[in-house]
Amino acid sequence: MTECAVILAGGQANRMGGGDKGRLMLGDKSLIDRVIERISPQVEAIVLNANGDLSRFDDLNLPVVPDSIGDFPGPLAGVLAGMDWAAERGHEWLISVAADTPSFPRNLADRLAAYDTPVVLAATPDPVRGRLPQPTFGRWRVSLRDELRAALNDGVRKIRQWTQTQGETLVVFNEGDFFNINTPEDLAWAEKNLK
């Protein structure tokens, strides 16, 4: 296994009133604890991407890396931070997962690794479009980091605006596998429905 994972926790959580969305409790565990528990068996190492005072995550016992591109450019900057961290440690591939999505598949890394394209993104079935990309869940060739850095510096912000230029593959998982918690209503729904 030559893969590591980045947990994307660098957003501003505006719809939840700000703060660290991953710290919200779902049952007896925080969202981020659930995400760590789920991704840990799937990869060799994990890094957390966050911004601000990084010491607030000391209790997680994970390395934490901030965006290297300023002004909160979005999850692509978190992927880049993860890629840079992975490259320093000799990893060829990076898996990205979101800190606000606690029930992603337990075989995510294996399913994505079945494809050898430079970028492989998760998707779910969609009755209208066929496939609905879940672009914060992906597998990224670490050697693309300089191209990604250049794209971010050129103003690219949307994940698929960049991944489609890299020959992405979409892998379809089950509907509901990537339920993410963006609002208090989402959290209430998850309390009742997620296991």
- pLDDT value at 1 more than 50: no
> 15 pLDDT band (50/70/90 cuts)?
very low
More confident residue, 52 or 48: 48
Percentage of the chain beyond pLDDT 90 is 69
Q: With a cut of 80, say whether residue 14 has pLDDT above it.
A: no
Q: In the prediction, which pLDDT does 18 show?
A: 58
Tell me phi and psi for residue 73, to 5 degrees. Answer: -75, 0
Nearest to 134 by CA among 166, 95, 160: 160
Q: Which two tokens stand for residue 115?
A: 């494809």
* Higher local confidence (pLDDT), 183 or 123: 123
Q: Which H or E run contains 186?
A: helix 184-193
Give the tens place of pLDDT for each residue, 153-179: 999 999 999 999 999 999 999 988 999
Kindly report, residue by residue over 58-101, the tens digit of the pLDDT: 999 999 999 988 777 889 999 999 999 999 999 999 999 999 99
Kindly list the domain boundaries of the chain, sorted by start residue: 3-193
Mean pLDDT of the chain: 90
108-125, pLDDT tens digit by residue?
999 999 999 999 999 999
Q: With contact defined as beta carbons under 8 Å apart, do 152 and 73 qualify?
A: yes
Alpha-carbon gap, residue 49 to 22, rounded angstroms: 12
Measured over all CA atoms, what is the biggest interatomic distance in the chain, rounded to whole angstroms? Answer: 44
Q: Is the pLDDT of residue 104 over 60?
A: yes
**What CATH number should be reported for the domain whose range is 3-193?**
3.90.550.10
